[in-house]
Chain A
């Protein structure tokens, strides 16, 4: 009788421990929201690729999450790094390959967000979802010197670097929160 009791308690403890520690890939408070584009790196290699992308492609502008454009857009961008929106953004061959692969793996597969009806968008601000979400922003709020253009996501979206673009997090320079 005592042995069964002991075994049961032990089993319960083990089960409880397994329950507590098994579900470690879902962080508290984080959930897939259409305004949250966080993709967690899976492997060490993926972590390194993410870091490289953020460093290289975030040197001159915000490092846009790859999910915002489809493969053909990223492909077009990577093919013309020598003339990247008017500047030289060329990479070492190894870095080029790593970033190219990273973009292909994480590019958008969601046609509703990024479908430009056959045209290949090179600007995220040209994609249908973006246009829709930003259609009510007055031009002067975007062209002001602190922002300059729609390319400057992080000037408004205070949590952009972590992949979050929720309305409540928006702070427009010189204008404040969204009404």
Chain B
């Protein structure tokens, strides 16, 4: 298990997350394990589902992450309320992404509430990050 975690962390850092974000994902892994004993690691496919599915958000209206962030993570997105351009989420397209743990935590906190009207679980957050890292 520990070996898997090490390999996983190593591959994440290769894909474009900074050390502090890798550290954060490590913390998420521990938390996810506590939440769910059968947790077997973050999954990008689950993350894609979380990211692209539509839900009744905090405003009481249907919304998805892709409402503001484009479906293609390498493209720019657009804030659906204000029209403000959002830089691509893909670390390959935008090297600033997934470098600051503070920023990552902040946006995961806020945007889960916007789309899901609740905080994301550790597993959900990790899955989403795994999805972003893969794209």
Question: When A148-B82, A152-B82 are in contact, do A87 and B102 touch as well, CB less than 8 Å?
Answer: no
Residues of A within 8 A of B82 (CB): 60-61, 148-149, 151-152
Q: Is the CB of A61 within 8 A of B110?
A: no
Give the contacting residue for A86; candidates B59, B83, B106, B111; CB below 8 A.
B59
Give the contacting residue for A92; candidates B59, B102, B111; CB below 8 A.
B102
Residues of A within 8 A of B44 (CB): none
Contact with B along A10-51 (1 / 0, CB 8 A): 000000000000000000000000000000000000000000
Inter-chain CA distance A142–B26, complex, in Å, is: 47
Q: Is the CB of A88 within 8 A of B113?
A: yes
How many chain A residues sit at the interface, stated as a range, is: 20 to 34
A-B contact pairs, 26 of them (CB 8 A): A60-B79, A60-B84, A61-B79, A61-B82, A61-B84, A82-B113, A85-B81, A86-B58, A86-B59, A86-B81, A87-B59, A87-B81, A87-B110, A88-B58, A88-B109, A88-B111, A88-B114, A89-B110, A90-B109, A91-B106, A145-B83, A147-B83, A148-B82, A148-B83, A152-B83, A155-B83
CB-CB nearest in chain B for A151: B82
Residues of A within 8 A of B110 (CB): 87-90
CB-CB nearest in chain A for B60: A86
Q: Which residues of B contact A (CB under 8 A)?
A: 58-59, 79, 81-84, 102, 106, 109-111, 113-114
Residues of A within 8 A of B111 (CB): 88
Inter-chain CA distance A86–B81, complex, in Å, is: 9
CB-CB nearest in chain B for A59: B84
Inter-chain CA distance A172–B84, complex, in Å, is: 16
Residues of A within 8 A of B83 (CB): 145-148, 152, 155
Inter-chain CA distance A92–B109, complex, in Å, is: 11
Shortest Cβ distance from B97 into chain A, in angstroms?
14
Residues of A within 8 A of B58 (CB): 83, 86-88
Residues of A within 8 A of B84 (CB): 59-62
CB-CB nearest in chain A for B113: A88
Shortest Cβ distance from B96 into chain A, in angstroms?
12
Inter-chain CA distance A92–B111, complex, in Å, is: 15
Residues of B within 8 A of A91 (CB): 106
Residues of A within 8 A of B113 (CB): 82, 88
Inter-chain CA distance A90–B113, complex, in Å, is: 11
